[in-house]
Structure 1
Amino acid sequence: MSGHGTPIPMTSHPCGPLNGQAEVPGDKSISHRSLILGAMCIGETVVTGLLEGEDVLATAQAMRDFGAEVTRDDDGTWHVHGVGVGGFAEPETVVDCGNAGTGVRLIMGAMATSPITATFTGDASLNSRPMARVTDPLALFGTQAVGRTDGRLPMTIVGAREPVPVRYTVPMPSAQVKSAVLLAGLNAPGETVVIEKEATRDHTERMLEGFGAEIRVEETEEGRAITLKGRPELQPQVIAVPRDPSSAAFPVCAALIVPGSDVLVPGIGLNPTRAGLFDTLREMGADLTYENERVEGGEPVADLRARFSPNMKGIEVPPDRAASMIDEYPILSVVAANATGDTVMRGVKELRVKESDRIEAMARGLRANGVAVEDGEDWWIVKGCGAGNVAGGANAPVETFLDHRIAMSFLCLGMASQAPVVLDDGGPVATSFPIFEPLMAGLGADIRREG
C-alpha cells in the first residue's frame, strides 16, 4: 500500500519522437524556501511560479499551522503574510509534511529556536528517513527532539527558550542540514556559522540575503564558511520561482534517448550548485544546448534544448559533482543504460537515505529490464546497452518504493526500451511533478494508467 493512497500502476510504452516545448513546474527547493522565509517576515511576500506539488503544498499548510497566513489567487499567485523571525505560534495539531524531506527538515530548523513545541509526521516513506542529521545540530542551540528509534518520525521538537548561536561543520554534503541550521540561527543572538567541506546548493544563502539577512560566505581552510547574524528583521519579497532543473531532467533525458526527439525546456534555473547533471550529459556526448541565457531574481536561467543523441558514451562522473546533482542520479542511470560503455558513479552514499534507497531501487529495476548494474555502499556502475538496446519488459512491475524520482526515471526508460516498462505505483510522481503525465503525453510519450 502506498503512503499517498491507493497505488496507481502505470505502463510506459515505447514511443515515437518526443517533440515540442516542455514547461516544467517551478523549482521545488526555491518554492519551499519562499514559503518558509515569507512566513518569517513581517508583511506580505508574493510568489509566482510556485511548484504546486504535494511536497510544497504540505509546507504551505505547515506555515499556516505555525501562524502565517498563506493564500493562493486563482491565477496561481501565492501570498504569505508572515509573523516575523521568532514569531511562530505553536501548532494546534500534528504537522503533516507528507513526503517532503526538504520541507520537514527546513521547518524543524525554522521553529527550533522559538519557545514552542511541535510534533511532525509524514507518509510511510518520510517516516522511515533519518532526522538525527538535523536534530543533532539543532540540539546545539538548546532544542530538544523526541522521536522513534534511530531518530525517525513522528517526532516532537521542543524549541529552545534561550537559544545560543552555534558553529557547526556539516559532516556530509547536505543542503538540507546546512539550511536547517541557518534557519535556526535566524532567531539566535550573535553569529551562527555553518561550515561545509563540499559546496551544496546555495538557494538558502542567496534567499536569506535577498530577504535582508546579514550573511557572508567565505572560503577557509576548514571549508566553505557561512556566517549569519541572528535576529534580523527580514523584508518581504516578490519572488518569481524559476523552473526546476530536477524536474527538467526528465523531459531532457527522455529526449536524449528517444529517436528523432527535439525538446525545448524553457526558463530552467541553472544555479551552478544544481547543474551537475547537464554538465555530465554533455560530457557523455549529449546534444544539449543552452539558449537565451539570462539572470532572473539573482539566479542564472536558460532555455534547454535536448535532441536525440545515439552516440553517448559512458563516463566516470567526478565524485565532487555529486552534491550538485544528487537527485538526478536515477534519471542519469537511465541515460547511461542507453549509452555505450560503463557509467561510473562514486561518492553517492547520500542516495541511500533519500525517499528510498535509490541505488538499490534503480539497480533492481534496471536489472529486471535487461541492464547490467554493479553497486556498493557508496558507488554504482551502469553498463550501457547502447541506443535502442534496452530490453524492457520485466516479468514483474518495477517497485518504485514511494519515490517520485524512481517512478519518473523508469517511465522515461520505457519510452526508449524495446518492450514496455511497468511500474507498481506511479502515484508518488504528484509529490514533485503533478503535471508529468500530461506534459510528457503532449510531447509524444505513451504512458498509461492500469486498472
Structure 2
Amino acid sequence: MSMQTNLSLSSQRTDNLAGIIDVPGDKSMSHRSLILGSLAIGTTKVTGLLEGADVLATADAMRALGVDITRHDDGTWVIVGQGLHGLVAPETALDLGNSGTGVRLLMGVVAGQAITATFTGDASLSVRPMARITDPLQQMGTHVASRDGGLLPVTITGQSEPMAISYESPVASAQIKSAILLAGLTARGDTEVIEPHASRDHTESMLRHFGATVEQTVRDDGTHHVQLHGGAQLIAADIAVPRDPSSAAFPMVAALLTKGSDITLPSIGMNPLRTGLITTLIEMGGDISILNPRDEGGEPVADLRVRHSDLHGINIPAERAASMIDEFPILSVAATQAYGTTIMNGVAELRVKETDRIKVMADGLIAAGAIVSYDDDTMTVTGGPIAGGMTVNSQHDHRIAMSFLTLGLISNAPVSVEGCETIHTSFPDFAKIMQNAGANIAETGS
C-alpha cells in the first residue's frame, strides 16, 4: 500500500490464514547498514534493505551529510563510503520524520565529526526524549542545543576527536549504546557502555563486520559491558539484511490466534537478542517451528512455520524485555486470547517509544472488552472474548496500528484504526500482504 496521509483501516474476524508471508528487511540493520557503509572506506552493497519511510529518511540524511547512496533497479543499494572523517555539514536541518532510531544514531555519528547539524522530525518524534542520548554525548565533548526537556529540534556540534568515556546506562537501550559507540569511532582510546542487561547488539556485530574491534562481556553482577577500541578504520563490506523479526511478529501472532491458520515466514532474523517474543509465544503454547537455521550476512536466520494454537498465560521475566521491546504491543493482543493471565514485566521502556505504548494499548484493549491493568513497569492481561466494534487512534505509532488490526482478526465486531499511514515506516504493504494470506483488512469505507 502506497504511503498516504490520514489512512484508516478496518479489520474483522478471519480464519485460515495460509501461505508464505515475506516480511520486510530488518529495520535496525537497515539503518545501521546505511550509516556504517557511509563511514567506511570503499563501496558497500546492501541487499534486502527495508525501504520503509524511517530507513529512507536515514538514507536522505546520509546524502545530506555528503554520502553518495543510490538504489539500483534490482533493489541493491550502493553506498560510496566517505571514511570516518569525511562527512560534511548539511545545508539544511536533517528531518528524520518518525524515526527514533535514525535520529538517535545519527546524533552519535555527528558527535564524532567536526561539523554541526540540526535534527528535526514529525510531531510524534518531536515529543520523544533525546536527553538520554545527548547527555552522554555531551560527556564526550559534544555541544548540544535543544528545546526544554531535550526535545527536537536538537543541534549537535561534534568534534573530530571526541573524548572516550565509560558510560553506565540506566536502561538497556540499543539506541543509547549505539549512539555512544558511533561517536566513539573517532575517539582516542576505548569507549565503553555498561548496561544493566544486554540490549540488541546489531551495532556491535556490524562494526566488527566493517573491521572495528568490539568486545562484549557479562560481569558477575549481570551487567553487560561493550568496549569499542577507537582509532580503527572501517572498510567497506557488503551486507545481506535478514527479514525483520519485529515485523514478523504481526502475522505470527495473527496465525496463532486465528483458527485453521498455517503460515510460513522465510528468512527471519534470529539474533538471540531479538527473539524474546518467539521464546515467549512458544512458552505460552504457540506452535512455532524453527526450520532451516542458517547464517546470512553474519546474522543467524531461519524459516518459521506458525499454526493456530491454544495459548495459556505466563509470567514473563523482566530480563527478557530488551529482546522483545518492540513486540510487547502485539504480545498484549496474543495475551487476550490466552487462557489465564499473562504478566509482562520490565516494560517501562515502552512508555517513551513513539507513544506511551503501554497506556495506548491498555486503553484500546479495555475498550475492546479485554481485562488489562498496568503500572510503570508491568502490564497484565487476562484472556477472554474480544467484543471489538470500536475505533482506535494509533497515535502515529506503526506498531500500535498493526497490533489493533491484528486484534480485529479475532474480535466479534470489526476494529477500525486511524493513523495507519505510519505503518509504512516499518512494514510497507502490510495490509496487502496480510490480505493475500486471507486476512480481512480493508481501507475504511472501501
TM exceeds 0.5?
yes
Q: CA deviation at 1:74?
A: 0.9
Q: CA deviation at 1:233?
A: 1.3
Preserved contact between residue 85 and residue 232 of structure 1 (Cα < 8 Å): no
In structure 1, what residue type is equivalent to 2:300?
A: P
Structure 2 partner of 1:71: 70
Structure 2 partner of 1:293: 293
Structure 2 partner of 1:125: 124
2:256 aligned with 1:256: yes
Name the CA distance, whole Å, in 1 between partners of 2:155 and 2:228. 26
2:28 is paired with a residue whose SS is helix
Preserved contact between residue 160 and residue 186 of structure 2 (Cα < 8 Å): no
Structure 2 partner of 1:141: 140
Q: For the aligned residues, what is the CA RMSD?
A: 1.1
Q: CA deviation at 1:162?
A: 4.3
Preserved contact between residue 343 and residue 379 of structure 2 (Cα < 8 Å): yes
Name the CA distance, whole Å, in 2 between partners of 1:321 and 1:213. 28
Name the CA distance, whole Å, in 1 between partners of 2:429 and 2:248. 12
Gaps of 5+ in 2: none
Structure 1 partner of 2:246: 246
In structure 1, what residue type is equivalent to 2:92?
A: T
12-21 vs 222-231, which moves further: 222-231
In structure 2, what residue type is equivalent to 1:416?
A: I
Preserved contact between residue 25 and residue 243 of structure 1 (Cα < 8 Å): yes
**Are the structure 2 counterparts of residues 303 and 161 from structure 1 closer, same or farther at C-alpha, using a change threshold of 3 Å?**
closer
Preserved contact between residue 96 and residue 121 of structure 1 (Cα < 8 Å): yes
2:440 aligned with 1:441: no
2:271 aligned with 1:277: no
Q: Percent identity?
A: 55
Gaps of 5+ in 1: none
What are the residue-to-residue correspondences of 1:17-96 with 2, within 5 Å?
A: 17-96=16-95
In structure 2, what residue type is equivalent to 1:120?
A: F
In structure 1, what residue type is equivalent to 2:432?
A: P
Preserved contact between residue 212 and residue 233 of structure 1 (Cα < 8 Å): yes
Give the total of aligned pairs: 442
In structure 1, what residue type is equivalent to 2:164?
A: P
2:419 is paired with a residue whose SS is coil
Q: CA deviation at 1:122?
A: 0.6
Name the CA distance, whole Å, in 2 between partners of 1:409 and 1:224. 31
What's the CA shift string for 1:380-429, capped at 9, x where partnerless? 111111xxx221112xx112110000000000111111110011221110
Name the CA distance, whole Å, in 1 between partners of 2:75 and 2:141. 39
2:384 aligned with 1:391: no
**Are the structure 2 counterparts of residues 5 and 260 from structure 1 closer, same or farther at C-alpha, using a change threshold of 3 Å?**
closer
Preserved contact between residue 33 and residue 204 of structure 1 (Cα < 8 Å): yes
2:312 is paired with a residue whose SS is coil
Name the CA distance, whole Å, in 2 between partners of 1:341 and 1:86. 56
In structure 1, what residue type is equivalent to 2:232?
A: P
Name the CA distance, whole Å, in 2 between partners of 1:371 and 1:217. 42
What's the CA shift string for 1:415-450, capped at 9, x where partnerless? 111110011221110010012111101100111112
2:311 is paired with a residue whose SS is coil
In structure 2, what residue type is equivalent to 1:40?
A: L
Structure 1 segments of 4+ aligned residues over 6 angstroms from their partners: none
**Are the structure 2 counterparts of residues 5 and 132 from structure 1 closer, same or farther at C-alpha, using a change threshold of 3 Å?**
farther
Q: CA deviation at 1:221?
A: 4.5
Name the CA distance, whole Å, in 2 between partners of 1:273 and 1:15. 32
TM-score by length of 1: 0.96
**Are the structure 2 counterparts of residues 5 and 20 from structure 1 closer, same or farther at C-alpha, using a change threshold of 3 Å?**
closer
Match of 1:426 among 402, 420, 423: 420
Name the CA distance, whole Å, in 1 between partners of 2:83 and 2:234. 7
Structure 1 partner of 2:319: 320
Name the CA distance, whole Å, in 1 between partners of 2:206 and 2:73. 26
2:163 aligned with 1:169: no
Preserved contact between residue 37 and residue 43 of structure 2 (Cα < 8 Å): yes
1:393 is paired with a residue whose SS is strand
Preserved contact between residue 38 and residue 236 of structure 1 (Cα < 8 Å): yes
Structure 2 partner of 1:218: 217
In structure 2, what residue type is equivalent to 1:23?
A: D
Preserved contact between residue 113 and residue 141 of structure 1 (Cα < 8 Å): no
In structure 1, what residue type is equivalent to 2:318?
A: P
TM-score by length of 2: 0.97
Name the CA distance, whole Å, in 2 between partners of 1:219 and 1:359. 30
2:395 aligned with 1:401: yes
In structure 2, what residue type is equivalent to 1:150?
A: G
In structure 2, what residue type is equivalent to 1:31?
A: S
Name the CA distance, whole Å, in 2 between partners of 1:161 and 1:212. 20
Name the CA distance, whole Å, in 2 between partners of 1:85 and 1:350. 31
Structure 2 partner of 1:229: 229
2:389 is paired with a residue whose SS is coil
Name the CA distance, whole Å, in 1 between partners of 2:87 and 2:159. 13
Structure 1 partner of 2:363: 364
